[in-house]
Amino acid sequence: MTGVRWLNPAERQAWLALYGVATLLPGTLDADLNRRARVTLFDYHVLAMLSEADERTLPMSELAGRSNASLSRLSHVVTKLENRGWVQRSQSTRDLRVTTASITPEGLTNLQELALEHVEHVRRLVFDGLNDQDIADLERVGKKILARLDETHWILKQSQPVGSA
């Protein structure tokens, strides 16, 4: 096979480390949230994105972008969270064609309770082993990779780090 640009040893080690993190970290965080509150990491992330939005409300399409999900996956999760009383859907007051999702006061309370341990878990697993330069490098490299995957990703437009894990 000609023309294949095989990974050199340093690239291979970096790839295996990234692959290990990408496969192990979500499952570890997911299992902890599921054990504590019967929510997935994705559920938590949807709630976090709503909690950080203006008026704690986002159009479903924007929420899908912020949670890296298809509208159908997001709709399924929002239905699940609606059934728990944590999220509500409504028609946008600005554009009647748009459906929005909002975190409810009960959802916000539950998210805040979950966040106390979740953020500490993220800190222990990821940040406690890194110094300030490592954290800056992680953001820089992560954004470079993210831009290759989706150059319009909302996080690339952020000038300040997002406030939740």
Beta bridge partners of residue 100, listed in sequence order:
59, 90
- As a whole number of angstroms, the distance between CA 119 and CA 96 comes to 37
- Position 63 scores a pLDDT of 96
CA–CA distances in Å: residue 120 to residues 29, 50, 83, 99, 164: 11, 21, 28, 34, 11
* Backbone torsions φ then ψ of 57, nearest 5 degrees: -140, 140
- Position 153 scores a pLDDT of 87
**Measured in whole angstroms, how far is the alpha carbon of residue 84 from the centre of its chain?**
20
User: pLDDT tens-digit profile of 63-106?
Assistant: 999 999 999 999 999 999 999 999 999 998 888 899 999 999 99
- Position 98 scores a pLDDT of 92
Q: Where are the domains of the chain?
A: 23-127
CATH number listed for the domain at residues 23-127? 1.10.10.10
Enter the pTM of the model. Answer: 0.86
Burial class (CB in 10 A: 0-12, 13-18, 19+), 29: buried
